[in-house]
Structure 1
């Protein structure tokens, strides 16, 4: 190992001597560089190679290269770049090659090498790196696309085309590669058309290819081949349509794609959705006429394909139109009314999913149709009786419309019966907030019931319970409740903290009771909360017995493990030395 390191160090000596001789670095600086490099070389020769060692060495060399450029600017010395900069660049590239050979699966490492070479305008080397990278990662389509994109941006469309074709041979089932291949061909056509228009002359490269490239026929061939490779895939054709719509010169191909959709997939909801959406993109000068045509097509679609998917696509498009910014308020009102009508139509056909019901209720609430929203929520909870979100909306609307307390409690009981108890906390939270705000006598009864339910309910209910008693009653009642709920575990850490805070807020602080509260808390959470121990130590130091702080410290060290232990020691040390507060 030492022999290899020594050989590499000796190879660096001429470079460092040159730097010192021309005055770019001092003797002490070159000695430090040599020492640093020697340390990195020894680390690279370890039996177990570590990626971080390579990265640190590479970063050090990049920093040296940047410093060298600054020194050149400062001194005005611009000679011997071949002997100085290029040597460092070659060393960096060598380190990258070694790292990528050993850690081939790390894509970030490959991309870092490419980024370095691009920053140095080393186009040839970037091409070679992509070639090696694709040999290793030939099943990763995003790498093929990235390589083709780089070739195309560096004015080599032929290589970009060849790269994507090779990628398709390795990944024949990749739709994304076909779509990007099609995009690349259209970009090339667009580029050639613009070039011809600006220069006004024929491109020598285009001889014999004029019709095929300039008219987009090559891209059309790609589309047809992809269609043959994935028969029966309407979504793929929609992907091609989205790309084709980005290019204004390709209208004939776009028309052909829509015809394929209509002919081959007449019963697909996505086909009707695409056809209807196209009505709005056609420029006729009459937006209202186009919008009416779109709605007509959607209505025809839902009459032929009466499914939740088709209605969902129609509703989604209507929502997009409502959200469009327009100065015409009457148009927005018209679109909103149309959206409400579509929701009603879907509901009449029983084609609203749970998500669409939620969306419908939110739309109705936004436009102020409260009674309609209430009816929609009622219908939704009837159809999807286990949906916690729909029950939440129904309860909130009932509260908003001022229904009686008995009716709201009846709704709450219905929700509890239908929704799984482990998911039921949101409706409990709504009813507790409601009863608390109207100071209902039934709140305590509901809290007592919730304290004995499933842990997902009982834990937050107990937190709410002790906090409510603390705000509305005496400290003696809080203490009685605390001791009673202590027997009904589990209890959250927040429950203990709330009780302790209520005790600390009293004019006469009962140290013994607070200490007992902390002891109860650490018995449950002493091995999972470092902040709890810090609070306990702070309390004893300031209001209890300061001599207990040391005992608590060692108890915390014993109970906490791993990162929690280290975190506790760090925070405690900072607090003791005055460099941090308890809250930090």
Structure 2
């Protein structure tokens, strides 16, 4: 190991000598660089190498190279490039190679390697990197896409890009992203060629060119020299004259001529009308989009049953503005295939109904006509469609309402949405989603007073909530709107609604937060006594403690509920009774239940905040930290928080004991030691432990209209 490190260090000598001679780094700096590199090299030669060591080494070399370039740029020197100018990047590449020899399967390192090669403009190296990465990760579509994008965008090599994506699809035929990117590549290629031809006027007729010139105000047609048109006979005569001047009277179009360098080359043949016609966009199958449509048809064969997959092709095609790479008949083919294969899917029928709108941008002339056609199509599919079709009708009209800025169109969409909702109500077509769309539409567009708007929406919710009792969103909307009313109206309705909601939706953090906010507001307004609020809090803690633990990511909300209710209770007690009440409550709760880590850390926070009796506070804080450690013995932040407190209060002996316990308990002792040193240096920020980051006073102002409207 030492021999290898020594060999690498000796290889650096010419580079270091060059840097010193140029005056970029001083002797002291060079010694520091060598010492740092030696430390990194030994770290890489451990029996079990760590990815972090390689990445730290690469980061150091990148920073060093950036510093070298900066100093080199400041120097007024005409010296040629030497070893120090390319040794830095070469070493970074070398470290990357060694890292990827150890960690071939780590995609993130490959991506960093690729990005660095792109940044440094190493095209030849980048090609090799892509080849190695694809060989090791042939099932990773991102590698293929990056390689194809590099070939097309950087090298302008459409053939190589196509080949890469075709190979990728042979191995990953059911990967949707690859099909979409291949389709996009073909359309971008067509769009680029069409844009060039448009600039050059290749596909334009003489009449179109003349019309374009006359319409261009910057062109002075009076002073413009018009070239005479050349007929076919005149062109043939011109060719004949050129042949006669050559001396032998023979056609030069069918024989080989010698160029200036003596090599034989074919003489250019005259461009016939038939040959010129093949170069026009309409006659060229690639420019007509036939290759892109072959991609689409093959993609549908491989993945026939995915509507989002088909929709992705349309989204790509419609994302182009001018020139449009796909002809109307090709786009219509995609719509027809979706309509045929997904005739019973509401989303597909809605997409086909939007065909007329999607053909235009919002500010284009035909947009209004497209809207009329789309609305007509939607009414037809709603006649025989289910609830989902009505929901999609409302969603599409609302989306267009927000897209357009033209007042008449906005008014049209507004009236149309009201008409759709009214028609659905008359036909007794209801769903949770349809109710929510109606409610959000009224809240966002109503010009009536906040109170009137709230009462109108509450009338709808009075019908919706009983129909869909399992809907958290409807109940939460009802609670928030009621809280915007006067305190007396809240006290009339909310206790009953909360009693039912907390039984039905006991795992909803938002409903618990609204409930705690409600009882705290009721206490401040004098509608509930301190005993009633404390009893309500204790009942809430009892209910939330009984909830099943949040062992999965999907149930993480339960952990927030348990943390929040206890923290909010302690915060309220601290406001009303001070630290004495806080101690009474947490001592009582510790006897009756098993609080979690965040509960104890909240108690610690309040003890520190209200430290009046220093001896009693120290004793209480130490006890609470011990309880917190017992609740989670491997939590490093708890140990660091305790150690910080002990060091700040001069309890050095106790701190040493806790540090020894932490070293035995934590998973990574080295990482913990580093964090401990950062804490001693003042560079460690104490976390909030979950509960402290929750807003303990969520008491929304009942008269605040903005909060209600935004929710």
- For the aligned pair, the TM-score class normalised by the smaller chain equals 0.7 to 0.9
- Once the two structures are TM-superposed, the CA of residue 521 in structure 1 deviates from its matched residue by 3.5
Match of 2:516 among 424, 429, 437: 429
- With 478-487 and 319-328 compared, the bigger mean Cα shift is at 478-487
After the TM superposition, which residues 195-344 of structure 1 pair with which residues of structure 2 at under 5 Å, given as runs?
195-199=196-200, 211-247=284-320, 248-252=324-328, 253-283=330-360, 285=365, 287-308=367-388, 310-324=389-403, 326=405, 328=407, 331-332=409-410, 334-343=412-421
- Change in Cα spacing, 1:84 to 1:481, as seen in structure 2 (3 Å) is closer
CA deviations on 1:423-443 (whole Å, 9 max, x unpaired) are 662353253144224311467
- Once the two structures are TM-superposed, the CA of residue 109 in structure 1 deviates from its matched residue by 2.6
- Once the two structures are TM-superposed, the CA of residue 15 in structure 1 deviates from its matched residue by 5.4
CA deviations on 1:185-215 (whole Å, 9 max, x unpaired) are 111112222333445679x9x9988712222
The answer to whether the 8 Å contact 2:601/2:624 transfers is no
- Change in Cα spacing, 1:290 to 1:39, as seen in structure 2 (3 Å) is closer
- Change in Cα spacing, 1:67 to 1:490, as seen in structure 2 (3 Å) is closer
The residue number in structure 2 matching 1:165 is 166
TM normalised by structure 2 equals 0.66
The whole-number CA distance in structure 1 between the counterparts of 2:676 and 2:45 is 37
The whole-number CA distance in structure 1 between the counterparts of 2:685 and 2:92 is 46
Match of 2:470 among 386, 394, 412: 386
Q: Specify the SS of the correspondent of 2:187.
A: helix
The whole-number CA distance in structure 2 between the counterparts of 1:180 and 1:254 is 17
- Once the two structures are TM-superposed, the CA of residue 274 in structure 1 deviates from its matched residue by 1.4
Is 1:448 aligned to 2:527, yes or no? Answer: no
Question: Higher relative CO (CA 8 A, sep ≥ 6), structure 1 or 2?
Answer: 2
- Once the two structures are TM-superposed, the CA of residue 47 in structure 1 deviates from its matched residue by 3.9
The whole-number CA distance in structure 2 between the counterparts of 1:74 and 1:271 is 65
Q: Specify the SS of the correspondent of 1:172.
A: coil
- With 161-170 and 66-75 compared, the bigger mean Cα shift is at 66-75
The answer to whether the 8 Å contact 1:279/1:291 transfers is yes
Gaps of 5+ in 1: none
- Once the two structures are TM-superposed, the CA of residue 173 in structure 1 deviates from its matched residue by 0.7
- With 563-572 and 225-234 compared, the bigger mean Cα shift is at 563-572
- Change in Cα spacing, 1:569 to 1:128, as seen in structure 2 (3 Å) is closer
The whole-number CA distance in structure 2 between the counterparts of 1:16 and 1:565 is 36
The whole-number CA distance in structure 2 between the counterparts of 1:490 and 1:349 is 54
The answer to whether the 8 Å contact 2:194/2:325 transfers is no
- With 14-23 and 285-294 compared, the bigger mean Cα shift is at 14-23
- With 221-230 and 8-17 compared, the bigger mean Cα shift is at 8-17
The residue number in structure 2 matching 1:141 is 141
Match of 1:400 among 464, 484, 505: 484
The whole-number CA distance in structure 2 between the counterparts of 1:557 and 1:23 is 47
The answer to whether the 8 Å contact 2:567/2:602 transfers is yes
CA deviations on 1:526-547 (whole Å, 9 max, x unpaired) are 65646875897699x6xxxx9x
The residue number in structure 2 matching 1:175 is 176
The residue number in structure 1 matching 2:441 is 363
- Change in Cα spacing, 1:555 to 1:354, as seen in structure 2 (3 Å) is farther
CA deviations on 1:90-135 (whole Å, 9 max, x unpaired) are 4443333332222212233323333333334321221121111100
- With 526-535 and 167-176 compared, the bigger mean Cα shift is at 526-535
The whole-number CA distance in structure 1 between the counterparts of 2:59 and 2:507 is 55
Q: Specify the SS of the correspondent of 2:98.
A: helix
Is 1:128 aligned to 2:204, yes or no? Answer: no
- Change in Cα spacing, 1:17 to 1:437, as seen in structure 2 (3 Å) is closer
The whole-number CA distance in structure 2 between the counterparts of 1:147 and 1:530 is 48
CA deviations on 1:337-372 (whole Å, 9 max, x unpaired) are 543554455567676554554454333333253233
- Change in Cα spacing, 1:573 to 1:404, as seen in structure 2 (3 Å) is closer
After the TM superposition, which residues 426-575 of structure 1 pair with which residues of structure 2 at under 5 Å, given as runs?
426-441=513-528, 444-445=531-532, 447-452=534-539, 453-455=542-544, 468=572, 487-489=591-593, 492-493=599-600, 496=603, 500=607, 518=621, 521-522=624-625, 524-525=627-628, 529=638, 533=642, 549=651, 553=655, 557=659, 562=666
The whole-number CA distance in structure 2 between the counterparts of 1:80 and 1:401 is 76
Q: Specify the SS of the correspondent of 2:354.
A: helix
The residue number in structure 1 matching 2:108 is 108
- Change in Cα spacing, 1:422 to 1:489, as seen in structure 2 (3 Å) is farther
The residue number in structure 2 matching 1:187 is 188
- Once the two structures are TM-superposed, the CA of residue 149 in structure 1 deviates from its matched residue by 0.5
The answer to whether the 8 Å contact 2:519/2:528 transfers is no
- With 490-499 and 447-456 compared, the bigger mean Cα shift is at 490-499
The whole-number CA distance in structure 2 between the counterparts of 1:228 and 1:235 is 15
The answer to whether the 8 Å contact 1:144/1:163 transfers is yes
CA deviations on 1:514-570 (whole Å, 9 max, x unpaired) are 56754664453365646875897699x6xxxx9xx5676567557766499869966
- Once the two structures are TM-superposed, the CA of residue 311 in structure 1 deviates from its matched residue by 3.3
The whole-number CA distance in structure 1 between the counterparts of 2:117 and 2:581 is 73
Q: Specify the SS of the correspondent of 1:400.
A: coil
The whole-number CA distance in structure 2 between the counterparts of 1:536 and 1:54 is 36
- Change in Cα spacing, 1:94 to 1:410, as seen in structure 2 (3 Å) is closer
The answer to whether the 8 Å contact 2:318/2:359 transfers is no
- Once the two structures are TM-superposed, the CA of residue 390 in structure 1 deviates from its matched residue by 2.5
- Change in Cα spacing, 1:41 to 1:454, as seen in structure 2 (3 Å) is closer
The whole-number CA distance in structure 2 between the counterparts of 1:50 and 1:482 is 45
The residue number in structure 2 matching 1:410 is 496
- Change in Cα spacing, 1:550 to 1:307, as seen in structure 2 (3 Å) is same
The answer to whether the 8 Å contact 2:346/2:385 transfers is yes
- Change in Cα spacing, 1:340 to 1:515, as seen in structure 2 (3 Å) is farther
TM normalised by structure 1 equals 0.79
- Give aligned pairs, total: 565
- With 463-472 and 405-414 compared, the bigger mean Cα shift is at 463-472
The whole-number CA distance in structure 1 between the counterparts of 2:579 and 2:20 is 79
- Once the two structures are TM-superposed, the CA of residue 265 in structure 1 deviates from its matched residue by 2.5
The whole-number CA distance in structure 2 between the counterparts of 1:470 and 1:241 is 59
The residue number in structure 1 matching 2:255 is none
The answer to whether the 8 Å contact 2:186/2:292 transfers is yes
The answer to whether the 8 Å contact 1:388/1:427 transfers is no
Q: Specify the SS of the correspondent of 1:439.
A: coil
- Change in Cα spacing, 1:64 to 1:349, as seen in structure 2 (3 Å) is same
- Change in Cα spacing, 1:559 to 1:316, as seen in structure 2 (3 Å) is farther
The whole-number CA distance in structure 2 between the counterparts of 1:281 and 1:102 is 51
Gaps of 5+ in 2: 204-268, 270-274, 546-560, 633-637, 689-711
- Once the two structures are TM-superposed, the CA of residue 414 in structure 1 deviates from its matched residue by 2.7
- With 279-288 and 99-108 compared, the bigger mean Cα shift is at 279-288
